[in-house]
Amino acid sequence: MVMRECGRQAGALVHKAGFSWRLALTLLLGGLGAALAQRYHLPGGMIIGAMAITGAASLLGAPLVNPPSWMRRVARIVLGLTIGATVTLATLRTVAAAMGPVLLIIVAMVGAGLLVARIIHRVTGMSLATAFSGAAPGVLSAMVALAEDLGGDGPVVASLHLVRLVSIMLLIPSLARAFFEPAAAVALTASGPAETAGFWPLAVLLVVGIAGGLLATRTGVPAGDLLASLAIAAVLNAAWIQASATPVTWRIFAQWVIGSGLGASISRKTLRAFQPFAVAGLTMTAFFLAAGLALAWLLWRLTGLDPVTCLVASAAGGAETMIILAGELGGDVPLVTAVHVTRQILILLVVPFLARGALRGNKEKTPGVQENP
């Protein structure tokens, strides 16, 4: 009787934590994809492999599920720790020197999204709430919530973002490998394994980083978990640990979970929601790709940064995935992190305000769209 009760309570805890056979299948397929990507040197690395296998399985009807929020959060925190451990005074100087042109690029990227939203609204008749939220170059979950808040179509917004994210994630590594030499970071990695610290310093870093990242999520700051863990790793590493890198298993874990989650979110339902606006969505994605290439060229000319860093920093992809790709392709990871996190913050500050203003100015032209108080 006691054993049965203990088993029931253990099962309840497992269920509450989000574990299930569907999650196990998702992570198993994601791990297989990551391993194949590593084995065959797929452009973009393990995150591309994990996303590709789970995405294909999901489209074929496999009962996959997105990893629970706590697991995705821990993966983002671990990603922040791996970035923070590489931050030095030299990298901070590089970021500071490039911030002027970088801010210009970010504003141009957000402005391009607003322009595309207006065009899609006029050409297809898509509601302004859906168009503004769907064409914002980043922060998928927040933009879906904004669309629903303003009376837009959340599933359509999610499908528009997913098509953009997956397309950019697949194309950027291929472009980087085809046209550019590996950047300095790749050469350094190839010269030998990075020096890591002992077990206890790394254990302290992991525990403090996870605790700090989870606390930062309560502030509501975009990418707060990522930023907090990055800062913690940078400070602890400089003051005490003094390792040139974190264990490779940390990077593998982050790419595995994030890639598996992105692939599991690709479903037939997503494609059905996207179908009525397929031409507009694909055109929007192509526009963002072209705009990203143009902005990358401009950033390269203004700053003299390596082309791979400029390409990944200017791409309108997801922050986590672009940060991972920067590391895989040999770009300047701290700079790419600064660009994409700043872009997320600007989108969250600007897009809701402009979307509400546009809706107020178009009430007669867009009947049926009402603002929520």
R_g of the chain, CA atoms, integer Å: 21
- The pLDDT value recorded for residue 188 is 39
Helices marked H in the chain = 2-16, 21-39, 46-59, 69-84, 89-124, 128-135, 140-149, 154-179, 184-191, 199-217, 224-236, 248-264, 268-274, 278-303, 307-314, 319-329, 333-361
Please say if the pLDDT value at position 245 is more than 90. no
pLDDT tier at 181, thresholds 50, 70, 90: low
Q: Is residue 49 part of a domain?
A: no
Q: Is residue 243 part of a domain?
A: yes
Q: How many domains does the chain have?
A: 1
Token pair 């546009």: residue: 358
Q: What is the chain's mean pLDDT, rounded?
A: 82
Q: Is residue 23 part of a domain?
A: no
Long-range contacts for 90-95 (Cβ within 8 Å, ≥24 apart)? 91/332, 91/334, 91/335, 92/334, 94/305, 94/332, 94/334, 94/335, 95/334, 95/335, 95/338
Question: How long is the chain?
Answer: 373
Q: Is residue 322 part of a domain?
A: yes
Please say if the pLDDT value at position 13 is more than 50. no
Contact by Cβ (8 Å): 156, 134: yes
- Highest-confidence range of 30-34, 118-122, 127-131, 224-228, by mean pLDDT? 30-34
Q: Is residue 2 part of a domain?
A: no
- The pLDDT value recorded for residue 233 is 92
- The pLDDT value recorded for residue 4 is 56
pLDDT tier at 2, thresholds 50, 70, 90: very low
265-288 mean pLDDT: 85
Closest CA to 311 of 49, 55, 43: 43
Q: Is residue 369 part of a domain?
A: no
Closest CA to 225 of 234, 233, 216: 216
Three-state SS at 253: helix
Q: In terms of residue numbers, what domain contains 195?
A: 64-360
Query: 66-94 pLDDT, tens per residue?
Result: 999 999 999 999 998 998 888 777 777 77
- The percentage of the chain sitting over the pLDDT mark of 70, rounded to a whole number, equals 86
Round to whole Å and give the CA distance between 123 and 194. 53
- The pLDDT value recorded for residue 369 is 42
More confident: 6 or 317 = 317
pLDDT tier at 368, thresholds 50, 70, 90: very low
Q: Is residue 371 part of a domain?
A: no
Please say if the pLDDT value at position 363 is more than 70. no
- The pLDDT value recorded for residue 176 is 87
Contact by Cβ (8 Å): 160, 116: no
Query: 96-118 pLDDT, tens per residue?
Result: 888 888 888 888 888 888 888 88
Three-state SS at 88: coil
295-324 mean pLDDT: 90
Closest CA to 305 of 337, 334, 332, 340: 332
pLDDT tier at 183, thresholds 50, 70, 90: low
- The pLDDT value recorded for residue 182 is 57
Q: Is residue 41 part of a domain?
A: no
